[in-house]
Structure 1
Amino acid sequence: MNKPGKPRVAGALGAALLALTHGVWAGTGAQHVSVDKAPQAWLVYAQRVSETLQTALSADTETARRFNDYFSNWVDTDAGAVAPASAPSDGGPLPFDPPTLKVRVWLDRAGHVEQVEFDDIGDDAAEADLRSLLLAQTVGAPPPRLMKQPVVVRLSLGAEL
């Protein structure tokens, strides 16, 4: 149940997937490719990945609702000391940096999400829901030729794209 005055988490997560990647990685332990050095096609594709995941997390499905509820409770508990009691009434930016969850995404040649990794969020069921939501996605286009993976995106409550 949402608290009065709080942004709805499904909508917040929908607006919260920060589309800008902080880098593109070439596999585990491989070299980082910074955003300013990544080809434009990679950045455009990373944006597409982000939008795909954003849509999945904002969906009106039982799995998405369960994860959104968990994430909302996690923010209330773990970030409550910095979170305001309500969103700004003017619709402006939140007066704190929202908590983020870095997600590393690998895609197959057809653009299907085939693997995801993210930091432990402290709840096996929520992690299973997040993994299930993300692994069910397809970007609808193959990654650009020679694009390094994983693509790194961040989920953040209350952020705006």
Structure 2
Amino acid sequence: MNKLGKPGVVGALGAALLALTHSVWAGAGAQHVSVEKAPQAWLAYAQRVSETLQAALAADTETARRFNEYFSNWVDTDAGAAAPTRTLADGGPLPFDPPTLKVRVWLDRTGHVERVEFADIGDDVAEAELRSLLLAQTVGAPPPRMMKQPVVVRLSLGAEL
């Protein structure tokens, strides 16, 4: 996880998708399909997965609030140097590189999130909260036929994009 900078609104996770997917992995064999080569249906579904995870992280639920609190405290105590200024799509400055979380997501044939993997975030309780939150999600549609899994998404944590 990238530990650069502070979010503009302390206490709000406001998860935002940084990248739709960088690749889609095919099981333990680690064969991947690049975004450029993925069928449009896979990309659209990955977008739907990302939006579902984003909504769960930003929701006004007890689990999301606890994770937001952990994340806000983590950012508040981050002793890292300020990151270089980046620019938003609308040209406005982004005064930090928001921390990102790469999440590998496996979905069952109904579109329910059945497994997630992400890098260690340094707190077992926060990781359990995040895992619980993500595993409770349903995308609302089954994955496209023959879509490789897991779907890999990068979420930006705490950014106002």
User: Does the alignment reach a TM-score above 0.5?
Assistant: yes
Match of 1:27 in 2: 27
Distance in 2, Cα, partners of 1:104 & 1:10: 23
Task: Name segments (4+ residues, structure 1) moved above 4 Å.
Answer: none
Q: What secondary structure does 1:121 align onto?
A: coil
Match 2:14 to one of 2, 12, 16: 12
Distance in 1, Cα, partners of 2:96 & 2:29: 32
Structure 1 length-normalised TM: 0.83
The sequence identity of aligned pairs, in percent, is 83
Distance in 2, Cα, partners of 1:43 & 1:94: 26
Structure 2 length-normalised TM: 0.83
What stretches of structure 2 of length at least 5 have no aligned partner?
Answer: 1-6, 85-90
Match of 2:146 in 1: 146
Distance in 1, Cα, partners of 2:67 & 2:148: 29
Q: What secondary structure does 1:106 align onto?
A: strand
What stretches of structure 1 of length at least 5 have no aligned partner?
Answer: 85-90
1:82 aligned partner, one-letter code: A
Give me the CA root mean square deviation. Answer: 2.5
Q: Higher helix proportion, which one?
A: 1
Match of 1:88 in 2: none
Q: Higher strand proportion, which one?
A: 2
Distance in 1, Cα, partners of 2:79 & 2:29: 30
Match of 1:101 in 2: 101
